[in-house]
Structure 1
Amino acid sequence: MHTRLIRSHERRRWSDGAITSWQSFPATGSFDLAANAFGVLMVHNDDLVDAGAGFDTHQHRNAEIVTWVLAGAIEHRDSQGNCGLITPGVVQRMTAGRGITHSERNASPRAEHLTAHVIQMWLPPDVDELDPGYAEADVTARLVGGDLVPVVSGRAVHHGSGAIAIANRFVALHIARLQPGRPVTLTPAPFGHLFVAQGSATVIGTEFDAPLDLSVGDAVRFTDLDDHVAVSTSEQAEILFWEMHASFDL
């Protein structure tokens, strides 16, 4: 197993004045996202969006886009007629397929000055030129117990689990709202990407002699992740974990 720690401040920062994006992989202005991917995770953006601001209508193709909101609300509208309001606890997946246009905006009025905090992640489908699609689900109740819960998955093992389907059979996104004294064990996989979305956490069972103490915005990338790695917290924390069984390098 190989473990790489990426601290929050090591990420690329991009801002246009109304949106500030901390990017685990260089996304803004990148025309070869696969070259900088880990496993098949191409984009992992941690965005702060001012009230009334957002991304105007733009196009995507052959991408699976997953959105998770930490604070505030994001309004989604697309060329397939889908309109969604994404709030904390609601996970969204958009299949761009052969082509879709959409917009994403902070749903709060400018006068209220409420910043939206959103994590957005992009992966490829395992088959190109699919029909565009959209799905969302409120997973709040599933996260109450503090377990690591699959919320978006293309893995056959998660069929019927309540996870939203994604058009990539090699990946699953797990989320946990960690509780003190209740560690969770990460799912073994050739590639794993762990992100601390809120709070702080500790990772044990890696090849390092000491536990890894993580703060909000920190990430850990695992290669050949085994079944001995666990994550715990002394307070409360929220973690996102991508289990991946494929890579652009394979």
Structure 2
Amino acid sequence: MSYYRAAEQRGHASFGWLDSHHSFSFDNYYDSEHMGVSVLRVINDDTVAEGAGFDTHGHRDMEIISYVLEGSIAHVDSMGHRRTVSAGEVQRMSAGSGVSHSEFNASATERLRFLQIWLRPNVKGIKPEYEQAHIPQSKALTLLVSSDGRDGSLMVHQDASIYRLRLQHNEGAPLLVSKGRVGYLHVVSGSAELDDSLLSAGDGFGVYQVRRFEVLAKSDNFEALWFDLPPEEK
């Protein structure tokens, strides 16, 4: 069984300072057919105008990952962190028992674009945590987030891993969904062939069964995120 959602089918919100595309139901956008895949609850592709951002607000019991594509985030939180998260960096915040934070475009002249990703945790009520890192691309499929922080990745409280896939034109990479796992591919930029279909930026593809397949880049600078997730919750 597989799941596919084209970029143009995503939810969309525009507020002047913010242009956001929602892969799954979020905030005022609701679609019962698209509530997430396994523990992956949110992928928002957010573009934030110069100097604008999200005022202080709270979260509980969610693993929140931000992957910056362009510009920089100015981050402030109730744990005492005041950080700048720049393009190419990954940020992880475990909201746990409760945390408040603000996220603003750090630049007054350039736009900010980042992916906001939420994973449901496998433990609740923990002390909130924060970390960020620049993780160089070591091979086509490079680990960014994991349950144990291996290979320099950020650690989340969930049996899940997130990899960054980067390929040049006509390069391919195999992806494997193991027994009892769920896979999800989110295309960040460029295009690639998968199962004789062409995937482009913003498209999402999920797999719920044991399977090995290959992604073949059809453009230069193809980039995607590959999620290795636990079984669907009953």
TM-score scaled to structure 1, two decimals?
Answer: 0.86
Q: Does structure 1 conserve the Cα–Cα contact (< 8 Å) formed by 2:65 and 2:93?
A: yes
Corresponding letter in the other structure for 2:146 = S
Structure 1 residues 32, 57: CA separation in 2 closer, same or farther (over 3 Å shift)? farther
Q: Does structure 2 conserve the Cα–Cα contact (< 8 Å) formed by 1:40 and 1:123?
A: yes
Equivalent position of 1:208 in the other structure: none
Q: State the superposition RMSD in angstroms.
A: 2.0
C-alpha separation between the residues in 2 aligned to 1:124 and 1:104? 21
The answer to whether the aligner puts 1:231 opposite 2:215 as a matched pair is yes
Which 10-residue stretch deviates more, 178-187 or 127-136?
178-187
Corresponding letter in the other structure for 2:205 = V
Equivalent position of 2:229 in the other structure: 244
The answer to whether the aligner puts 1:165 opposite 2:149 as a matched pair is no
Equivalent position of 2:175 in the other structure: 186
User: Residue 231 of structure 2: SS of its match in structure 1?
Assistant: coil
User: Residue 51 of structure 2: SS of its match in structure 1?
Assistant: coil
Q: Does structure 1 conserve the Cα–Cα contact (< 8 Å) formed by 2:25 and 2:31?
A: no
Q: Does structure 1 conserve the Cα–Cα contact (< 8 Å) formed by 2:189 and 2:224?
A: yes
The answer to whether the aligner puts 1:212 opposite 2:211 as a matched pair is no
C-alpha separation between the residues in 1 aligned to 2:126 and 2:29? 23
Q: Does structure 2 conserve the Cα–Cα contact (< 8 Å) formed by 1:14 and 1:28?
A: no
Deviation of 1:37 after TM superposition, in Å, equals 2.2
Deviation of 1:58 after TM superposition, in Å, equals 0.1
Gap runs ≥5 in structure 2: none
Which 10-residue stretch deviates more, 78-87 or 35-44?
35-44
Equivalent position of 1:207 in the other structure: none
Deviation of 1:225 after TM superposition, in Å, equals 4.2
Which 10-residue stretch deviates more, 228-237 or 11-20?
228-237
Equivalent position of 1:89 in the other structure: 88
Corresponding letter in the other structure for 2:142 = V
Corresponding letter in the other structure for 2:6 = R
User: Residue 187 of structure 1: SS of its match in structure 2?
Assistant: strand
Q: Does structure 2 conserve the Cα–Cα contact (< 8 Å) formed by 1:144 and 1:177?
A: no
Q: Structure 1 residue runs of 4+, over 6 Å off?
A: 30-33
C-alpha separation between the residues in 1 aligned to 2:213 and 2:52? 39
C-alpha separation between the residues in 1 aligned to 2:30 and 2:13? 16
The answer to whether the aligner puts 1:18 opposite 2:17 as a matched pair is yes
Deviation digits for residues 22-63 of structure 1, max 9, x if unmatched? 001111137999x81211111110111101111000000000
Equivalent position of 1:8 in the other structure: 7
C-alpha separation between the residues in 2 aligned to 1:26 and 1:69? 21
Equivalent position of 1:58 in the other structure: 57
Equivalent position of 2:186 in the other structure: 195
C-alpha separation between the residues in 2 aligned to 1:131 and 1:187? 34
Structure 1 residues 11, 88: CA separation in 2 closer, same or farther (over 3 Å shift)? same
The count of corresponding residues between Structure 1 and Structure 2 is 230
Deviation of 1:144 after TM superposition, in Å, equals 5.3
Equivalent position of 1:149 in the other structure: 142
Equivalent position of 2:128 in the other structure: 132
Task: Identify, as 1 or 2, the structure richer in strand.
Answer: 2
Deviation digits for residues 98-121 of structure 1, max 9, x if unmatched? 000000011111xx2x21111011
The answer to whether the aligner puts 1:120 opposite 2:142 as a matched pair is no
Deviation digits for residues 132-185 of structure 1, max 9, x if unmatched? 00011101x2x154x11111011x5xx5321111111x2111112212343122
C-alpha separation between the residues in 1 aligned to 2:94 and 2:127? 8
Gap runs ≥5 in structure 1: 205-210
User: Residue 151 of structure 2: SS of its match in structure 1?
Assistant: coil
Equivalent position of 1:108 in the other structure: 107
Q: Does structure 2 conserve the Cα–Cα contact (< 8 Å) formed by 1:75 and 1:86?
A: yes
